[in-house]
Every structure is written in structure tokens, then in C-alpha cells.
Amino acid sequence: MKYKLFFAVLLFAATVFSQVPQIKSLKAYAGDNETSFPVIYRQNGSGGTITIQFDVQGDAIPYMSIVFRFCDRNWVPYQNIFLLNQGKNIYYNLGFSRLPNTVVNDAKYHFTGSFPDRKGTVDFPFSGKWRFYITDSQDTSLVYGQGKFYVVEPVVALQDTIKNEQLEDKVYFPADLSKVFNITTGFNLPTELYPGNVTQVEIIDNHEIDYPFIIGRNFNTNTRQYYWNGSGKFTFTARDILPGNEYREVDLRNTNVFSAKDVNAHLEEVDYSRFFTEGRKDLYGGSILTNYDNDYATYLNVTFTIRPPSEVTGGIYLVGAFNNWKLSPDFKMNESYGLYKLTIPLKRGVYDYQYVVAGDKYGQIINPDWVILEGNNWSTSNIYQIFLYYNDPNYGSYDRIIGYQQIKSGN
């Protein structure tokens, strides 16, 4: 009897485990342009949407909801009841489409939705940072996937400039390592806002949300400078921003070239350093996925390979639109005889990506170098998202974005 009970428990556990849905190809973007930065731009309280899309691998039709949470400037969700947006913060019972089962065998269902939705089920009343969580509909503590986006309703006009500069504190070799951008944001604060509540300016390079350049009011440094004239005029400057190079690109849409399940990212198989080679036009860190109802919108096991110069020391990490440009131990490449390789599952589509050299200390990634394998030049075309934060005293105080602007380099 004990043995029967034991095996019954094992069978039940295995069944439950096999039914846990897996989120794949999750992305968020503005409007209907899937290469765009995930920001809702509002004027006079209306306008703009965020689109969320993903695939699901599971044994049955998923029963999911999306929970939206307003956050402070550090992406920590507020617990303040006035900022929970209760009644307008959950989108229940997602409607899924069935993926073609002729070729697509790594996912079964697809969801695409735009928010705020037309029925007004979900709304975002506060300007600032927002998170979304894809959860079980019966138990929202079961989170299967999550993402980030911004809601902005600018009340302050930003005047932004970008300037080419050259580092002179030492001799750089190669000389391109000394090339940097200085980005300055200036504005005049409206009289109805209190100057002491202006907190910081945040700059995002393309889609690299987790690695912002922050200029705060607490103190000035050689690279982050703040000025206030005692009235309403402010200036924030971020110095020594490395422009980098255009991103690399992997395009898996050609079914004749990429016809097998296991493929190399490129026909030439091996990537090399691009430090002295200017890259081609990219998607500013974005991706374009093959439409979900396409018979060939399947998943491939894609192998990335790079042979770095012998003088490069440290581990090499793969980053790109497929992992939200976040350095992760899961994307550290494996080295063998001077070749670094990593195989990851990717849905057919186009992805920007690059390689980063970094150290590893007690499992933590340290001293990342984003340019040594990729190059660094002033002609690189980047889009910088610039946000101005204000500590709004309403509703117990919250981090409000009162200014927003995009500025492009390389022109």
C-alpha cells in the first residue's frame, strides 16, 4: 500500500509539473511597431498604448491574466493603496490563438494584446515606471513571465543636446576607445511645480533598460553634473558615454537557408571582432518576429560562435533583443580552443545582438566591456530615451515622469 501511494504521488507530481506553462518570446513595445521602445506617450491624459505579445508551451489552453503594477524609479512596485490602481490593474482571461501545429512544435499558443484595452478594463493613471506580470488567473502569485514599460505625460519641455568629445585623461589604444558622447538636458520648471522635488534625469541607450545613465541631484562628479540656478532653470549632463557600434544582426526568416532545427547564426558560422569595422544599420536593439500564424513561425536551436582576438581576457557573454539586453550567467559562452560558443532557442525572426567581455567573481558579472569586441565610433546611430523624474507629493508621494524626449546620435 505504501509503495502504491508513493508512486501515485510521483505520478501526480509529474503530471502537475508537465502542465506548468512556459512563456516564450515575450516582448513589449509601443503601439504596433514591435521594434519600438516600450513607452506610452500621453498628452492631456490620453493617447498611446503598449503591446504585449508572447507564445506559450503547455499541455492545455492557458488560463492566464496580466497584472500591472506602478513602480518607483528603481522598479520597485508601490504598496501604497492609492497607487495600486485597484479595479483597473488586472486583465483577466487572456484570449489565445492556436499556433500552427504542422511545424511549430516548441509552443502551442500565442497572445497579443494592447493596453489600455478598448473596453477600459485596464488603465495607467500615473506617469512613471510600470511592470507587468503574466500570472495564473486563479492565483496571481504564480508568475510565468514579466516585463517593464514606461508611461509618460510630459509637462516640462526638455532641450537635449548630444556632443562628440574625446577622453584626455590618459593615452588610449586603440584611439577609438577615447571617443565618447556628452548628453545635456536643460529645462525651465513651470511655476506650479516645486524645484526641490526634481530628483533626477535617466538616459536609456536604445533598449538597454537595465543599464541606465543616471544624473541625480545629490552630488556632482566628473561624469555626472547637475546645475540649478536657484529659480526654475535646470541642467543635467551625462559625460563619457561610449557610443559603441551598430548592433550585430541575426536573421532567421529564410526557410531555405535555415531549414534544419539546429542552425548556426550565420552562414559563415564564426563572428569576429568588429572593433575597426563600422556596423550596418540596425533595429536600435529591437527584434522582428515571424507572425504567429505563419506555418514557419517555429523555434530553432541557434548557435552563436565568436573567435575573439588573443588579447581579450575574461568571459564573453551574449546579449541581445532575445534576453532584453541583460547580462546573465545563463548567456555566458563556452570556450574551446579559442572559439566561444552558445546555443539558444530562438523563434524565427530578426534580432539585434552583440558580445560583451566581463569578469566573473563569486558568480557575479563584473567590469563589463561593451565595446572591446564591437567597436566605438561617433558615427554610431543610437536612440537615447531621456526621462525627467519628479517626487510628486500627491497620494503619499511617488516618482513621476514629468519630462520625456528622444535624441539620436550619429547624424
Confidence of residue 19 (pLDDT cuts 50, 70, 90): low
DSSP 8-state symbol, 332: B
Does position 7 have pLDDT exceeding 50, yes or no? no
Computed over every residue of the chain, the mean pLDDT equals 92
Distance from the Cα of residue 337 to its chain's centroid: 33
Single pTM value for the model: 0.92
Separation between Cα atoms, residue 245 and residue 378, nearest integer Å: 9
Confidence of residue 59 (pLDDT cuts 50, 70, 90): confident
pLDDT score, position 171: 79
What cell was used for 10? 510521483
Does position 17 have pLDDT exceeding 50, yes or no? no
pLDDT score, position 165: 95
Separation between Cα atoms, residue 248 and residue 275, nearest integer Å: 12
Q: How many CB atoms lie within 10 A of CB 89?
A: 19
DSSP 8-state symbol, 329: G
Please tell me whether residue 28 adopts helix, strand or coil conformation.
Answer: strand
Instruction: Determine if residue 162 is left, alpha or beta; phi over 0 gives left, psi from -120 to 50 gives alpha, anything else beta.
Output: beta
The domains located in the chain, with CATH, are: 19-152 (2.60.40), 159-244+379-408 (2.60.40), 248-369 (2.60.40)
pLDDT in tens, 25-54: 999 999 999 999 999 999 877 789 999 999
In order of 14, 313, 398, the CA distances from 11 in angstroms are: 5, 48, 49
pLDDT score, position 373: 96
Give the chain's end-to-end CA distance (angstroms, integer): 76
Does position 2 have pLDDT exceeding 70, yes or no? no
Confidence of residue 267 (pLDDT cuts 50, 70, 90): confident
pLDDT score, position 137: 93
Does position 105 have pLDDT exceeding 80, yes or no? no
For residues 63-85, give the mean pLDDT: 97
pLDDT score, position 411: 65
Does position 305 have pLDDT exceeding 70, yes or no? yes
Does position 81 have pLDDT exceeding 70, yes or no? yes
pLDDT in tens, 319-366: 999 999 999 999 999 999 999 999 999 999 999 999 999 998 888 899
Q: Which residue has the higher pLDDT, 216 or 296?
A: 216
Cell 518607483 -> residue: 72
pLDDT score, position 4: 47
For residues 93-118, give the mean pLDDT: 88
pLDDT score, position 9: 42
For residues 383-400, give the mean pLDDT: 97
